[in-house]
C-alpha cells in the first residue's frame, strides 16, 4: 500500500481535518442556505479563508480576481453567518451552511444560480 493510499484512507475515514488543496492552495466551498438547503454560491477557500471563517463564524473566501482574502459582504453588507461546515470524503470540498444577511449574488439575485441551461442556451430558472 502506498503512502498516498494511506493518506486517502485517513482523509476518508479519519477524525482529523486534513483539507486537500489544489496546486494553487485552494479548495471548493459550496454555500447553502441552512434553512432551505438551496445552493447560494460556489467559491474558493485557502488555508487562511478557512481559518478566518472558523474564528469569526462569518464566511471568508479567497478571491482569485482580487488575489486576496475576501469576506463575503465586506462592501455590500450581505454577509453569510456560518451555521455548520461539512467536509467531503476526500476533504477537497466543503459545504458552508449559512444564514445570509441579504441577497448572496453580486447581481442582486438571491443566489448565483438564477439561470437554467436548456437546449437553446440559458433561461431564467423556473421554480
Query: What is the spatial distance between Cα 29 and Cα 81, in angstroms, rounded to a whole number?
Result: 14
CA contacts within 13 A on the Cβ side of 42: 5
The reply to whether 66 sits near a second copy by the rule CB under 8 A is: no
- The nearer residue to a second copy, 48 or 86, going by C-beta atoms, is 86
Residue with cell 489544489: 22
- The nearer residue to a second copy, 68 or 123, going by C-beta atoms, is 123
Q: Is 70 left (phi over 0), alpha (psi -120 to 50) or beta?
A: beta
Applying CB under 8 A, among 32, 34, 79, 98 the residue interacting with a second copy is: 32
CA contacts within 13 A on the Cβ side of 79: 12
The reply to whether 14 sits near a second copy by the rule CB under 8 A is: yes
The reply to whether 2 sits near a second copy by the rule CB under 8 A is: no
Interface residues with a second copy (CB under 8 A)? 12-17, 28, 30, 32, 36-39, 41-42, 54, 84-89, 93-95, 105-107, 109, 112-117, 120-123, 125
Amino acid at each position: 500500500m502506498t503512502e498516498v493510499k494511506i493518506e486517502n484512507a485517513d482523509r476518508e475515514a479519519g477524525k482529523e481535518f486534513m483539507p486537500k488543496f489544489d496546486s494553487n492552495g485552494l479548495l471548493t466551498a459550496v454555500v447553502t442556505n441552512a434553512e432551505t438547503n438551496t445552493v447560494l454560491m460556489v467559491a474558493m477557500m485557502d488555508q487562511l479563508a478557512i481559518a478566518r471563517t472558523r474564528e469569526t463564524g462569518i464566511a471568508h473566501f479567497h478571491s482569485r480576481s482580487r488575489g486576496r482574502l475576501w469576506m463575503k459582504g465586506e462592501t455590500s453588507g450581505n454577509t453569510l453567518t456560518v451555521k455548520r461546515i461539512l467536509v467531503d470524503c476526500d476533504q477537497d470540498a466543503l459545504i458552508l451552511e449559512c444564514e445570509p444577511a441579504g441577497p448572496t449574488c453580486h447581481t442582486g439575485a438571491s443566489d448565483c444560480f438564477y439561470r437554467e441551461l436548456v437546449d437553446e442556451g440559458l433561461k431564467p430558472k423556473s421554480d
